[in-house]
Structure 1
């Protein structure tokens, strides 16, 4: 494992670990968004998604099964992005802010896909 690879995985993982912990500690805004998107069992879905973010993020940072952990994080990022940042439903400044967050998540998704393709 290279030093730059370790640092890169740790930095990438940090956003998932932090957000996962935030969602576990304060799930209500995320549960409301999931409920609004008609996600079945929104409380459970948020707990599972948050747990994946924390667990897979930590394992990715440590270099444990990085391809599998990147795949799990990428999968968790899809509903998070679509439900959490629907810029297409917004106007003005809120639309712009949501679009930035949506594009940031796409960039994270790209980084995770890159890791899944590594040998």
Structure 2
């Protein structure tokens, strides 16, 4: 097993989780702002959506980080990331001055979702709760 095969999945999970977990924790402390932002997109039950977002980013993000039920965690995070891209980075409906920034963020979300789907397909790698003792 090469060094990349051995440590790459762990480093990849750390890097991907570094996007979700800290931002989810930040949303706890800025809950009212998150609720307002979600409400500005005319989504129903913005408080519930904000709480669900925090759960996914923190709890599912931590499960992904440590490699616990990693394939499921990766799939949940991928679906969440695609939905967030479509709802919050809809460059096709943005004002002209915002199109490039929203388009960049949208396609970053899609790329992250692609990486997550790869983990969902192939698993957590050797350094994970899923593969402990193997």
* Bigger RCO of structures 1 and 2 (CA < 8 A, at least 6 apart): 2
Q: Which has the larger radius of gyration?
A: 2
Return the TM-score normalized by structure 2: 0.78
Aligned to 2:77: 73
Large movers: runs of 4+ above 6 Å: none
Aligned pairs, number: 119
Q: Deviations over 1:57-105 (max 9, x none)?
A: 1111111111011011112223321221121122333111111111100
Higher helix share: 1
**Bigger Cα displacement from structure 2, 82-91 vs 95-104:** 82-91
Ranges in structure 2 where 5+ consecutive residues have no aligned partner: 124-134
The answer for unaligned runs of 5 or more in structure 1 is none
Corresponding residue of 2:99 = 95
TM-score (norm 1): 0.87
Counterparts of residues 1-119 of structure 1 (less than 5 Å): 2-119=6-123
